[in-house]
Each structure stands twice: as structure tokens, then as C-alpha cells.
Chains A and B, each alone.
Chain A
Amino acid sequence: MKNLITWVVVAMLLPIPVVAQQSTQSPQSPQDSSAMEQRIKDLEERIIALEGQVRMLKATPAAAPAQPSPVPGGATAQPQVATAVPAQAQVPAEAAPGALPVYGGASASAKALNPDISVIGDFIGKAGGNSVQPTPSLEMHESEIGLQAIIDPYARGDFFISFGESGVNLEEGYITFTALPAGIVAKVGKMRSAFGKVNMMHNHVLPWVDRPLVTNNLAGGEDGIDDAGVSISRIIPAPKGLFLEATGQVFRGDSGEDDSPLFHASRNSDVSAVAHLRSYTDITESTNIDIGLSYARGHNELGTDFLTQLYGIDATLRWKPLRRSIYHSFVGRGEFIWSQRQQVPTEQRAFGFYTSADYQLGRRWFLGGRYDLSDRSRFANLTDKGGSVVLTYWPSEFSQIRGQYRHFSYADNLSANELFMQVIFSLGAHGAHPF
């Protein structure tokens, strides 16, 4: 493909010196010179068109077969320069030793077909003690590697592999089928489930250093509901201006922390399911509201006969004035979760929530706060609560420095005052996250 383009470019460029020589030999009429100008202009246009095609070819996904370049006149021009071509054509190939053909060699640039690769580092330092939820003083909390690419015209793939200090975890790895009929979008693989808002978020996109108490107490902790399975979602037609999306997911049935799982499959048939309904509307061009209903159901570690069910409501109010969008914004959010856990001797019904607000003070500064309250899923009469104040500084889009002061009052009359410092830094091309 590239060779062909080189041919054509050469073919087009050759006439220029020839024309130029002619013009110096014989005095020309104004007509000639304007015709020549026109001709040069036409050539320029064709070169720009060709450059554009080369760029497109380099970026084309592997699955698209090489198309003959539809350049008018290209074919007729080739014979003229046939002798010059072999030498010319080899140059680009030799100049790029890494450019071996891949996937059938639709493109000469092998690198262009690599997935987008990113690494996100998440470092956390802490001062202050906490005997209920102990965390280390200095910790490279997570290093997340993202590999993302379009697989073929029908699907894209996303992998997020997180390296903790002591182990590796496939945080997410799934294929998204984007070209299904009837507007259905399906995902297959391991993924963070669509239960509420925080459960979908990776650590580095949270506006806090930690996750809310209710996530830890009721919804599976840092990993949350993150399991292997199938997800199907579809936008539901609604009155104008209202966005409604329904998501249904079925998972193997293993979620949560290893020592106190949220869901556990004792048998293969103990699958878990998550359903989510999202509604969204723009109030003005700067303000919008986003409300979701979630339901999750699975079996817990006590066995097949013991179910845990979660009900959730999430609400988000966002404000971002478009004319000053890079300087000021506000996000207010709350998530309310009810847990119903069958266990011996009696079923435990627990409730928890968080509410948070984040305001962007300037291009680089964000100030936020969060209030937490949650019962414990296994002992619903025990209630933990607390609050945090967060200040975040963005040196650029690709790094963040965050300080968070957190006070928790645990049910067992223990309290903790902690000061966190977090640095998040991102390398490479990390795809945008869901809104």
C-alpha cells in the first residue's frame, strides 16, 4: 500500500522540475504562467489528499483490508516513473526496521496496530492510626495497566490489569460488541458491574483517596462487584430530552474481599445478577442530573441457600459552565444502599450511604467533602460513620496530588483521625472513562 502511494507521489512530483525547466527556457505568456500556477495548485491539492490517505491508512484498524488508493490519474502516471520506483519504494521499508507486517500487513506501520497502552500509578501516604481499617504509612497502592484497542469493525477490547504491592489482579478485561442490532451493547469478560456509581469507577478516577464506608461495609470493598460474566445494555426510548438506559448483567457469583466476600458461588449455578436503570437529563447546557436504580443478587459464603441482595439509589448533580468549562465545575453526589443478607441466626438488613460534593476552584484546584454512614452487612445493628475533606491539585491532565483528612467513628467506640496524601500519575494513552 505504502509503496503504491510512494509511486504516485513520485509520479506527481516528477513533472514539476520538468515544467520549471521549460519555463526558464522560453518566455511565457501570462496565460501559460497562470495555467502552470493552476497546475501546481492541483498537484498541491493531490499531495494534501494523499497525505490524508496515508494518515488514515496508518490509523486504520487491522481488519480493514488494504484498499486501492482511489487517486484519479494515479494509474496512468505510474508507467512514467517505472524505472525510478524500485529504489524509491524500498526507502521507507528500510528506514523503518520495526515495521514488520502484522495481521496480514494492511498497514506498514506495525506500531499503529498496537493497543493503546497506559500505566497509572497510585501512591498513598498516610499519617494517623486506624485499628479497624489499617493501612500502611507509605504504599504504592496500585499500578494499573490499561490495554485498549478496537478489535474489528464489530467490537473493541479493554484490559485493566492492576498490580498491587503483593499481587496482580485482572481488574477488568472484556470485549464490547458495538455493532449489534436494535441498539444493544454487549460486554463479555470480567468487569466492574453497573451497581451504582462508585462500583464502576477505577481507583484513579475517584475524587477521594479511599472508597466510601458504605462500599466497604455493604458493597464488596475496594474491588466491589467485579466478576466474570455477561452484560447487556440498551438505551430505552423515552420522552424527548430524557436519557434512559437499562443494563442487565449475569456473573459467576464471586465478588468482594477474600476474607469477607459479598457474593460467593458454592456451586456453578450460584450465579449473581446485577440490574441497573440509569436516567439522565440536561437541566440547562451547564447543569444536569443523573439518577440510577440498582439491584444486585447473589449467594453468600454460607452456601447456596443463603442469598445477599442489594438495592441502590444513586443521584448526581453536575454543573459545568461551558464557556468556562476548564476553570469551574461542581459535582454533588449521593449513593444509598440497602443490604439484605441471609445468614444464621437471622437475616441482616443494613443500610448505608455517602454524600459528597466537589467544587473546582480554578483550573488546577478542586475542593471536596464527603459524609459517610453505614451499618455493617453482617451485624446490621453496628453503624460506622465519618467524614472527609479533600483538596486536589492537578499539575496537568496527567497527574494529580491529593490531600485528604478523614475522621471515622466506628461502631465499637473506636475512632480514627487520618491524613492521606496521594499522588496519581498517568503514562501513555489512557482511554476516556465513562461519564
Chain B
Amino acid sequence: MRIRFGFVVLVALGFLPGAFFSSTPAQAKKLNVITATTDMAALTQEVGGDRITVESIAKGYQDPHFVEAKPSFLLKLRQADLLITVGLQLEIGWLPPLITQSGNPRIQIGANGYLDASQFAEILDIPTGPVTRAMGDVHPLGNPHYWLDPENGRRVAKGIAGKLGELDPTNASYFQEKFQDFDKRLTTAKQKWDADMKPYHGRKVVTYHNSLPNFAKNFGLNVIGYVEPRPGIPPTPSHTIELIGLMKRENCKIVMVEPYFDLKTPNSIAAQTGAQVVKYLPSVGGEKDVTDYFKLFDYDIALLTKAFQATQ
């Protein structure tokens, strides 16, 4: 009798809703892609065109390390055919429980609908020695901010196009065409970006967080220091003084800051070194009009070149 009561509860709460409302997503129509960040969504949109729907969990103006694992995201994930992550443990603090709780076998880690986009990209800052937390919140697999190199954008887009084609073979050639088109447009755009940045090759900059190694490598910037004393550790007075000294010695006039960090320390550093604070965007959607992958670089490069000119 008593056991039966327990099972009645189980059945009533677990199974019955499933039986009554089991709403399987319509497989025949567009692939439903959910991405961890807006940059992956933007690249997916480029190659997926109108044959997919894509939505990002994190917003472009949000720190992708610290997204809350809200249940409303589960509603998106449970309907997803494909989940694309940045990888390299960028989302380790919030994505794994969402995947587990989604009840969606398609997007579980290792399943066909789970794509870690970092596998396609050139990854920098892979620690070679032992990694400890004394280094701050380091990413033991390498720097996850790889999408800020257009070449990596190209590689990731190619990888995503392949994955979309694998999941939706009828549209595979369409995705490949879209990629070819994106590839061409990116080459053209990159020539312009390279030309814009060329006069400032080798310029020294300081960044708030270590999120620009790929960008710096690609566009020839020289990152000499960080406002954070260690990745993920907020600025400390002693480190700030050291950094000011370093910037004066090296004649560094640019402090690049992500929009989600407090500007107090960067502003005081700038005031004491005569540097400019550049509030660059690390992700698509960081500002309203930065709606795609191209506009992200357009925006950042315009900001940077202006700042370089002003601090000649």
C-alpha cells in the first residue's frame, strides 16, 4: 500500500505529463541551433542562412565566463538539434548543468548534436608547465577568446557548415555554398581590416582581461600587460601601480576594456599615463548595431585606429 503511494507520486509527476504533452520537435523543418555565445551564433547564421534557426544563450554584452544557468535556457536547449559551444572551459561554470537537466539526448556531450567549436580554431596560450590557481582563473586548455581572429572565424564557420550538413544532408550543399560566400566576403573584409591596422603594427596595448591574444597576433598588436593581476582576479592597487610604471616605461597609450568590466581602474590608469581607454567589444551584440561577425571587427578596428591616431 505504502509503496504503491510512492509510485503513484512518481508516475503522476514524472510520466503522465510526458504522455499527455509529449511534444517532439518537428524534425522535418529547419535545424534548431542553440549556441553558447553570440559569436558562435553569428558564424552559424552566416553558413546556415535561412535553412536554420539559431539563438545564443549568452548576450553579447555579458561576461561569457559568468552566465547564470537560468531554467529559461532549458526551454531553449530541450528543443535544440545542435548545441555549439566555445569550449576550452569558457562555459564550465554554467553550461554543464543546463545540458544535464535539459532532458535532450541530442545535445549531450559526445552526442551528435554537441559541437565544441574550439576544435577548429588555432588556440593560443596553452599552458605548458603545471597549472595552478595561483595563476588565477587560467584556462588549462588554452585561451578561449579565439574567435577574435578572423582566420579562426573562417575555420569555425567551415566546421559549423560541415556539422550542419551532417545533421541535415539535404541542405549540405547549401551550407557549403553559404560558407564559400562567407569565405570570400571575409577575405575581402580582412584585406581592409589589415590595411587599416597596418600603420599601427607593433603598437603596445594593455588589456583588462587576457582576451585578445588571437586578435593581437592577427593584427600585430603587442599586449604588454593586463589590468587584472591574474586572470579573473580584480585589479589590486599594487598591481595597478606596477602597470602604470610599465606603461610609462614602454610608452603604451592604450587600455582596452571589455564592456562588462568596471571602468574605474582603467580610467585612473589612463589619467596617470596619458593613455586612452578603448571600450572594445569582445562579442557580436555588444552594441545594438554590431549585429554580425563583420561588424564586430569593423567596430573594434574603427575604435582602435581612432585611438591610435589620437595617441600618436
Contact = CB atoms under 8 A, between A and B. Distances in A.
A234 B104 CA distance: 11
Contacts of B103: 178, 180, 183-185, 234-235
Given A185-B100, A248-B10, A250-B10, A150 B71 contact: no
A126 interface: no
B49 interface: no
Most B-side CB within 10 Å, residue of A176, A230, A250: A250
A127 interface: no
A278 interface: yes
Contact of B110 (A63, A235, A245): A63
A269 interface: yes
B108 A153 contact: yes
A235 B75 contact: yes
Contacts of A397: 137, 232
Contacts of A299: 2
Contact of A271 (B3, B11, B68, B92): B3
B17 A434 contact: no
Contact of A250 (B6, B59, B66, B78): B6
Most A-side CB within 10 Å, residue of B6, B68, B120, B142: B6
A241 interface: yes
Given A63-B110, A234-B14, A363-B262, A290 B100 contact: no
Contacts of B19: 182
A88 B41 CA distance: 41
Given A248-B10, A288-B70, A178 B75 contact: no
Interface size class of B (residues with CB under 8 A): 35 or more
A234 to B, nearest CB: 6
Nearest to A248: B13
A178 B173 CA distance: 33
Contact of B17 (A51, A150, A234, A241): A234
A435 B137 contact: no
Contacts, number: 190
Interface stretch (A201-209, A317-325, A405-413): A317-325
A271 B6 CA distance: 7
A275 B23 CA distance: 23
A81 interface: no
Most B-side CB within 10 Å, residue of A153, A185, A235, A304: A235
Interface stretch (B30-38, B111-119, B197-205, B290-298): B111-119
Given A322-B59, A432-B97, A275 B9 contact: yes
B96 to A, nearest CB: 6
Contacts of A281: 72
B118 A250 contact: no
Contacts of A150: 109-110
Given A179-B105, A183-B18, A184-B14, 17 more contacts: A56-B119, A153-B110, A179-B108, A182-B19, A185-B100, A185-B101, A185-B103, A234-B14, A234-B17, A235-B78, A235-B103, A247-B13, A248-B14, A299-B2, A322-B61, A323-B62, A326-B260
Interface of B: 1-3, 5-7, 9-15, 17-19, 21-23, 59, 61-63, 66, 68-72, 74-75, 78, 92-94, 96-97, 99-105, 108-111, 116, 118-123, 133, 136-137, 141-142, 155, 232-234, 259-262
Interface of A: 45, 48-49, 51-53, 55-56, 59-61, 63-64, 150, 153-154, 156, 176, 178-186, 230, 232-237, 241, 243, 245-250, 269-273, 275, 277-278, 280-282, 285, 288, 290, 297, 299, 304, 318, 320, 322-327, 363-364, 396-398, 429, 431-435
